[in-house]
Amino acid sequence: MGKPKFAFYWCASCGGCEEAIIDLGEDLLKVTAAVDIVLWPVALDFKRKDVEAFEDGEIDVSFINGAVRTEEQEEMVNLLRQKSQLVFAFGSCAHIGGIPGLANLWNKESIFERVYKTVPTVNNPDNVYPKTTTDINGNELTLPEFYDTVRTLDQVIDVDYYIPGCAPPPDLIMNAFTAILEGKLPAKGSVLAPEKSLCDTCPRAKSKPEKLAIKEIRRVHQVAPDPEKCFLEQGIICLGPVTRSGCGERCINANMPCRGCFGPTREVADQGAKMLSVIAACFGIENEDKISDEEVKAIVNQVDDPVGVFYMYSLAASVLRRRQMEQIKE
């Protein structure tokens, strides 16, 4: 029997998840000794036809990072699903939509208008926009369709496991590889990171009072945050209470609040909505489950970019999922 076959693929992402694999350092040599990498577009010259040539299920594990935004990405993740025994959503964008998911505040038309027309540095007098087919001297060139909506990987294909984080830290990646190679994976659907919230592991948790009382929401650049004190106590929104731990408190240790890249803990259905209710409680609103529309509005009005703050990573996976476009045209 040959070595297990691993595939790596990227969709709508920044490339940080690819860097995270490289960040394994010497451990990467152990991985490549133990498995055959059969697809890794960023590093190795395999083609789509190489994937198509595999029998269904012949690839042991595909690690897919990035959200799904284009027709090509949709086709590739469907192909990898068909050819793989296990599919891992790798990193925040595949897991919960990530930063690309914030584009769900717009649609294809408004994004193209901005990127190819109204950005001050763009000079496009002939209104040339990308098209799926273009005739060049009798030859047809094609581009994949750009969809209106960014989707998480599990909104497109069945996903077996999730490795969270922007980007996932090396120890969680190695734990996942080891669990695969030793046949010790948990139940299907598991997020391969601790169940505790970030507040439970945060070094500033001791300074977090039982009952937080915020008078004013402040942005991190408006103050010099006290590096010993809980951000929420300082009036700075930190998504630690609703975010899964396992990142090593990377942002907190850099004196930045958590933006929620690890996604919600198991008990939290909607990361942004739950954080809003946490903030409501900090404002002294006793029954956070019965927060009124006026109370929500009063809090949200203090935040310059509420979607960007409460749903920075999770908009595509949230109950909101995307903005209704009629509202943009108003």
Contact with ligand SF4 (CB under 6 A) among 231, 235, 268, 317: 231
Q: Does 261 bind ligand SF4 (CB under 6 A)?
A: yes
Residue among 130 and 203 whose Cβ is closer to ligand SF4: 203
Contacts of 36 (CB under 8 A, 6+ apart): 2, 3, 4, 5, 6
* Residue 252 binds ligand SF4 (CB under 6 A): yes
User: Is 250 an interacting residue with respect to ligand SF4 (CB under 6 A)?
Assistant: yes
Nearer to ligand SF4, 9 or 231 (CB): 231
Query: Any idea what DSSP says for residue 60?
Result: E
Nearer to ligand SF4, 39 or 261 (CB): 261
β partners of residue 6: 37, 61
Q: Which of 278, 285, 279, 321 is nearest to 301 (CA)?
A: 279
Q: Which is nearer to ligand SF4, 20 or 258 (CB)?
A: 258
Q: Does 14 bind ligand SF4 (CB under 6 A)?
A: no
Its sign, for the CA torsion 219, 224, 228, 229, is negative
Distances from the Cα of 23 to the Cα of 5, 89, 120, 123, angstroms: 21, 18, 37, 39
Residues between 73 and 132 that touch ligand SF4 (CB under 6 A)? none
Among 69, 81, 95, 204, binds ligand SF4 (CB under 6 A): 204
**Contact present, 181 and 5 (Cβ < 8 Å):** no
Among 96, 172, 199, 291, binds ligand SF4 (CB under 6 A): 199
Residue 39 or residue 193: which is nearer to ligand SF4 going by CB? Answer: 193
Residue 218 beta carbon to ligand SF4: minimum distance, rounded to whole angstroms: 14
Residue 254 in 3-state DSSP?
Answer: coil
Query: Which residue lies nearer to ligand SF4 by CB, 128 or 269?
Result: 269
Q: What is d(CA 247, CA 171) in angstroms, rounded to the nearest whole number?
A: 9
CB of 228 to ligand SF4, least distance (A): 10
One DSSP character per residue, 91-142 reads SHHHHH-TGGGGGGGS-HHHHHHIIIIISTT---TT-----SEEEETTEEEE
> Per rule CB under 6 A, is residue 225 in the interface with ligand SF4?
no
Is the Cβ of residue 250 or residue 323 nearer to ligand SF4 in the bound state? Answer: 250
Q: Which of residues 140-169 bind ligand SF4 (CB under 6 A)?
A: 166
Task: Give the span between the Cα atoms of 321 and 330, in whole angstroms.
Answer: 20
Residue 143's nearest CA partner among 154, 153, 128, 156 is 128
Q: Does 12 bind ligand SF4 (CB under 6 A)?
A: no
Residue ranges in contact with ligand SF4 by CB under 6 A: 166, 198-199, 202, 204-205, 208, 230-232, 238, 240-241, 243, 247, 249-252, 257-262
